[in-house]
Amino acid sequence: MQSIVILISGSGSNMSALVRASQEEDWATRYGAPVAAVISNRADAAGLAWAKQQGIATQVISHQDFPDRAQFDAALAQAIASCAGAGKPPLVLLAGFMRILTPGFVQSHAGRLINIHPSLLPAFTGLHTHARALAAGCKFAGATVHRVTEVLDEGAILEQSVVPVLPEDDAPRLAARVLATEHIIYPRAVRKLLAAGLS
């Protein structure tokens, strides 16, 4: 058994897409990989209520309760381990989790820590990706599912989506179209990892 723990900070739309895929495709039976918990660093994250409605355990670990990133990450790691229970170490999926994780956290979850980023990596790492893509005159944008490493947004690419940039696009319009593709490629990438035994 290898459970899945999803980390969010806001609405959790990618989390919802992952949970729906896990339910529709019965990841718990097919891969021995149930979604065990959703954890947020913000108590007001809207995605927590949706996860509770699905019968998924939720927890809040507020970064504001800790004096530094290392102590927050240590508490987060402990929460993840306790949610996952017995069996293999959990697969940890970042779904709009707006915290940069410490090298120690990343190393302790190496190979089991996945993120989705709203750009065609390696282009536009970090924030404000859509506005930056428009400012650069890009003809295409998209999203990337990747492994998390100690270097921000530089892990191995697992899946990408490509979205054309339209003449009338502004950052919100482009973001909305990219987000729709994120909801497709993130579950697909996780499904492939589970089917391959996280190879």
Let me know if 117 is a catalytic residue: yes
Taking CA atoms, 197 is separated from 18, 81, 173, in Å, by: 18, 19, 37
Question: Given the structure tokens 């995605």, which residue do they identify?
Answer: 47
Name the catalytic one among 63, 109, 117, 128: 117
What residues contact residue 78 under an 8 Å CB cut-off, 6+ apart? none
What residues contact residue 153 under an 8 Å CB cut-off, 6+ apart? 115, 117, 121, 122, 125, 126, 146
Count of H-run helices and E-run strands, the chain:
7, 7
- Rounded to whole angstroms, the Cα distance separating 136 from 130 reads 10
Active site residues: 117
